[in-house]
Amino acid sequence: MRYVDFIDLDYRPKASDLVCGFHVEPKGISMDEAMGGVAAESSIGTWTELTTVKPYLERLHATVYDIVGNDCRIAYPIELFEPGNMANILSSVAGNVFGLEALGNLRLNDMEFPEELVRSFEGPRYGIDGIRKLLRLKGRPLVGTIIKPKLGLRTEDHAKVAYDAWSGGCDIIKDDENLSSQAFNPFEDRLVSTLEMRDRAEEETGERKVYMVNVTAETEEMLRRAEMVQDQDGRYMMVDILTVGWSALQTLRDRGLELVIHAHRAGHAAFTRSAVHGINMRVIAKVARILGVDQLHVGTAVGKMAETRDEVHENIKALKEPMHGLKKVLPVASGGLHPGHVPDLIEIFGTDFVIQAGGGIHGHPDGSVAGAMALRQAVDARLGGHSLKEYAQDHKELARALETWS
């Protein structure tokens, strides 16, 4: 089969097909050849006609069935993929095709998974409803922070910063993506000390608190750390899903641990930032959901990260839209946030999300306790129908935050 033979605009995808949406920019060949080439090289075809093709292979080829400008949709027969093997699936549809010389740019913008493939993975253990039940929290966004500075704090100081933020009103404390088990703050010591502070903060505030400790490591070590978190009644673990890899994430979820999986997307922009080449963040969101994360960073549309409001909405949709019975995943907004962003964030996300402010809490001129109080006050103001300026008249912590980050 030639590349153009993989195009059939009369084809209608079967319910069992995996469907991908691509943006294609050819280089030196026609658009039809380029799109057909993507379908061919990601299924049973190659650059030349073969003598080894058997008649039974024809039904296994991918088909370009819809073309609009530079965008196309390709249907893949489910028989091409091994159930329960995300590495195999992505090696096919998001593999060598990105390196084809005849393509100037290629972006995987969407994936629609058939039910049989989705159900071959665990999916989220908790999802939004399970997380709210665990935290005994309804009706408002979860308020969290990242320990700052992200690296360099000794264990006792890290735990103290966490305690201060919990005391001020944070529900969640999170390690940053590059804090692992460095000599200045070893994993085991940090876990034990910070959970002790969590218990103290819970007793004093009467609120359920959680610590998202970063278990990211080589797979066996990651599993050992995750099991240690469970043994210490840690409730949550955090993992950098792209740098550990999809199979490692799948192994972590399939371990059967009763821990919420908080997914950090460190490194995503290497794939997602270009509008014409790479992989759309909503694809990463869908894959992460299928593999079983419970929370995922999706951008902010405000703050310091690059995604637009439309892109963030698409990422949120990927986590919450119906997907063959999978639980909804809790979106996380993080990156350059402070209390002044709360009205925009609630407008964008609703109330089912996590607001995570790092510098926007620990950079408060009166310290981390006041910073956490200011963020909670901003949430209370917005949900109570008040403007932040109005609410700040009787809440000095919020007033100072607004003055600092006007």
Q: Among 380, 392, 321, 391, which Cα is nearest to 351's? A: 380
Largest CA distance in the chain: 80
- Considering the candidates 61, 158, 209, 264, report the single residue annotated as catalytic: 264
Catalytic annotation present for 264: yes
SS3 assignment for the chain: CCHHHHECCCCCCCCCCEEEEEEEEECCCCHHHHHHHHHHHCCCCCCCCCCCCCHHHHHHCCEEEEEECCEEEEEECHHHCCCCCHHHHHHHHCCHHHHCCCEEEEEEEEEECCHHHHCCCCCCCCHHHHHHHHHCCCCCCEEEEECCCCCCCCHHHHHHHHHHHHHHCCCEEECCCCCCCCCCCCHHHHHHHHHHHHHHHHHHHCCCCEEECECCCCHHHHHHHHHHHHHCCCCEEEEEHHHHCHHHHHHHHHCCCCCEEEEECCCCHHHHCCCCCEECHHHHHHHHHHHCCCEEECCCCCCCCCCCHHHHHHHHHHHHCCCCCCCCCEEEEECCCCHHHHHHHHHHHCCCCEEECCHHHHCCCCCHHHHHHHHHHHHHHHHCCCCHHHHHCCCHHHHHHHHHCC
C-alpha distances (whole Å) from 158 to each of 4, 26, 331, 354 are 59, 51, 25, 21
14 carries an active-site annotation: no
Contacts of 4 (CB under 8 A, 6+ apart): 32, 33, 36
Query: Which is catalytic among the residues 23, 148, 158, 297?
Result: 148
Q: Catalogue the active-site residues.
A: 148, 264
